[in-house]
Amino acid sequence: MIGIYFSGTGNTKYCLEKFVALYDRKVEIIPLEDAGTPEKMAYHKDIIFAYPIYYSNLPKIVRDFICENSDVWRGKRIFIITTMGLFSGDGAGVSARLFKRYGAQVWGGLHLKMPDCICDVKALKRTPAQNKQIVMKAEERIKSAIYNLKNGTPTKNGLGLLCHIAGLLGQRLWFYHKTQEYSAKIQIDSSTCIKCGKCAAVCPMNNLSLSEDKVIADGRCTLCYRCVNQCSKKAITILGKQVIFQHSVYDFH
């Protein structure tokens, strides 16, 4: 077994770490953007696949990874973990349908509500105490899912027809375009930016690069918010115009 994940500001990685720690500590977990990930996957029949949900849909980087490695999934057994700020309907289902198309068996699905990680929008902001409660509830759901899995009745969040309909009507139909292409909306305040290069180092898309006098964006943002979260000067925004709160799930534990 191996764990594969995509994580923007750490929510999904945190949840996968907790899951593996309870299920089997020997399971290796690796980010999907690492160059050697497809090769490592080929040696494992069972895969735990974890990612965040954006607008009730897959992040563009996750969809591309699944489709570009279509030949790897045949014969695999996959348990899907998804993290979200509110409700996705079929968060696990959106990848499950792709995996099944490519010959995989979907073992189960787990939806986990986690603290909001969109640093420059006020809508979902909560107090640290509220976020701590959300993380604690997610950990309890993980424990329950592990119990079910070990007893042969894996959790199947987001995998049914009604979940599919809920996902479509909840957000995906209205915001479908948000995740079908990479974004060019990232803004970098050159008067605040100190050109430290941290944003370029953490970007999973290699979308950012450092020139002599500024950071350059190449129009391939997958909306993961790593750069916004890691910028010490709060010089980067994507959906909003000002950084309100920078996120670390480990602060809520």
CATH of residue 103? 3.40.50.360
* Beta strand pairing call for 46-52 and 77-84: parallel
Clarify whether residues 119 and 192 are in a common domain: no
Clarify whether residues 204 and 169 are in a common domain: no
Mean pLDDT over each residue of the chain, to the nearest integer: 91
Clarify whether residues 14 and 116 are in a common domain: yes
Task: Find the domain containing 156 and state its range.
Answer: 2-178
- Give the CA-trace dihedral at 72, 114, 16, 12, to 10 degrees: 50
Distance CA 234, CA 198 (A): 12
Q: Is 125 inside a domain boundary?
A: yes
Distance CA 180, CA 58 (A): 9
**Residue reference for tokens 């996959």:** 78
Q: Is 248 inside a domain boundary?
A: no
Clarify whether residues 132 and 223 are in a common domain: no
Share above pLDDT 70 across residues of the chain, in percent, rounded to a whole number: 97
Helices 60-68, 91-101: inter-axial angle, 10-degree rounding: 20
CATH of residue 212? 3.30.70.20
Output the six-digit token pair for 67: 């489709």
Average pLDDT over residues 89-103: 95
- How many domains does the chain fold into? 2
Beta bridge partner(s), residue 77:
46, 105
Clarify whether residues 29 and 111 are in a common domain: yes
Number of alpha carbons in the 13 Å side-chain half-sphere of residue 241: 0
Q: Which of 152, 178, 204 is the last residue of a domain?
A: 178
Q: Is 250 inside a domain boundary?
A: no
Clarify whether residues 173 and 207 are in a common domain: no
Segment 41-79, tens digit of pLDDT:
999 999 999 999 988 889 999 999 999 999 999 999 999
Q: Is 245 inside a domain boundary?
A: no
Q: Is 118 inside a domain boundary?
A: yes
Q: Is 111 inside a domain boundary?
A: yes
Put simply, whether the predicted model's pTM sits higher than 0.85 gets the answer yes
Average pLDDT over residues 221-245: 91
Average pLDDT over residues 178-185: 84
Clarify whether residues 68 and 153 are in a common domain: yes
Average pLDDT over residues 141-168: 92
Q: Is 13 inside a domain boundary?
A: yes
Clarify whether residues 82 and 149 are in a common domain: yes
* Position 114 pLDDT exceeds 90: yes
Q: Is 251 inside a domain boundary?
A: no
Output the six-digit token pair for 32: 């999907």
* Position 253 pLDDT exceeds 60: no
- Give the CA-trace dihedral at 11, 224, 108, 29, to 10 degrees: -70
